[in-house]
Amino acid sequence: MSLNQDNQDQEQQRGLQNRHVQLIAIGGTIGTGLFMGAGNSIHFAGPAILLIYAIIGLLMFVVMRAIGEMLYADPNQHTFITFISRYLGNRTGFFARWSYWLTVAFMGMAELTAIAKYVQFWFPHWPSWIIQIVILLVLTAVNLIAVALYGETEFWFAMIKIVAILALIVTGVMMALTGFKTAAGPVAFSNVWQHFSLFPNGVGNFVNAFQMVMFAFVGMEFIGMTAAETENPRKVLPKAINQIPWRVLFFYLGALFIIMTIYPWTKIPANQSPFVMVFELAGINWAAALVNFVVLTSAASALNSVLFTASRNFYSLAVESHGNFLKPFAKMSKNNLPTNAIFFTSLVVAFSAIISLIPQITDAFSFVTSASTDLFLMIYILTLAAYWKYRKSSDYLKDGFLMDFPQVAVPLSLIMFVLIYITLFFNPDSVIPAIGATLWLVVFGLIARLQPQT
């Protein structure tokens, strides 16, 4: 960890207000997977999906508390990956930085591809690559102008998602209280626990649901980096992170509970968004268009966060690098923004537009994006390992934003992340990406070993 980086990180613009971070924090816990993948998750695990969401939510809360405690101790850092270098060594940090940047960039490609598909819902004849380029240019401009504009954009993206879920929950409660009947029968809270079984479709599908839910939560750590961009991170960070469990309970578990209240879980199809079904049952015939709009804003929100987060990580990579190639990306603009890093990150994400023109490599693209998602698990494991080292270092802030029961929470979370990664090899849909992610771990891990240790 270099003093140069500390100094340059302090120069970055802190233009986010508390209201930005609080709403972004809420929106950050609501992924596209909830809107489009809830039906598939319920199909796999039935009502037990509530338990799985609660477990994964708790694991991610432990990760967020670890990140929050380290950022609170050193609020000058704008990315938690810095702590991996500081406490696990430069070689591990080199692996983590490049892995995380590439992982988030590929996540951006996936979201940009999804955005094009959502836009084609209304304009099926518009070429996918043109839609992607236009959207990418707009969001890149948002990130280039000022941190405050990024915050304002994310604020309204998050607002749309929140209103959609609140509308779902209110609609479902009103249906249940008024004895509303659908083609599948009466709307009742008892629909959730009728025919309950912990493994309704077998132990294998119950275990596979952990992977699906895990993928719905990746990227939650963006909240920590967003809070670092505020004028008073030590005040905003604890509040944003501590509210995560309540948001998971209300928005994820609440939405899933209401969905199964309205429609018996045994009859929910895996290939259809439950949100569309619920709003159609409520008499909103344009439900598909409504949900498509919500999912479009959700994907745009994710891409906006990708550009924000990945550019900060690439800036940090450039600051730490000794190579001439990365020196231009270690510079700040007159507005104290990592402009060159934002441009380069956008350029990498723009490859998705090129990929969309080559049908022959569509499967390869899906493989790479799935494998990159698997790498998030590795990053979370390294983050918790770095946190463990931090607790034993001289940097440890005894009166800081301390995690509760770390001696139990951290080891259990590490074990769970490892077990979830292992289960990827037993699912036909995830085994190839899991192998790809493991190859990356081995090959790039060996490259990282060749880096000078500091």
Helix 254-262 vs helix 147-177: angle between axes, to the nearest 10 degrees? 30
Task: Give domain limits for the chain.
Answer: 14-449
Which tens digits make up the pLDDT trace of 303-353? 888 888 888 888 878 887 777 778 888 888 777 788 899 999 999 999 888
Whether residue 307 contacts residue 143, with contact meaning beta carbons closer than 8 Å, is answered with: yes
- Which CATH number does 14-449 carry? 1.20.1740.10
Least confident of 33-42, 84-93, 355-364: 355-364
Place 360 in a pLDDT band, splitting at 50, 70 and 90: low
β-sheet bridge partners, residue 16: 230
Tally of CB atoms within 10 A around 275:
25
Q: Is the pLDDT of residue 10 over 60?
A: no
Q: Is the pLDDT of residue 7 over 70?
A: no
> Which of 422, 313, 387, 308 minimizes the C-alpha distance to 63?
387
Query: What's the pLDDT score for residue 5?
Result: 42
Q: Of the segments 144-153, 362-371, 402-411, which one has the largest average pLDDT value? A: 402-411
Query: What's the pLDDT score for residue 197?
Result: 77
Q: Report the chain's mean pLDDT, rounded to a whole number.
A: 81
Which tens digits make up the pLDDT trace of 178-208? 888 877 788 889 888 887 777 888 888 888 8
What is the mean predicted confidence (pLDDT) over 91-110?
86
Which tens digits make up the pLDDT trace of 214-269? 877 877 777 766 666 666 778 878 887 887 788 777 888 888 999 899 888 888 87
Q: Of the segments 20-34, 381-395, 423-437, which one has the largest average pLDDT value? A: 381-395
Alpha carbons 135 and 419: distance in angstroms, whole number: 38
Query: What's the pLDDT score for residue 385?
Result: 96
* Phi, psi for residue 250 in degrees, rounded to 5: -75, -55
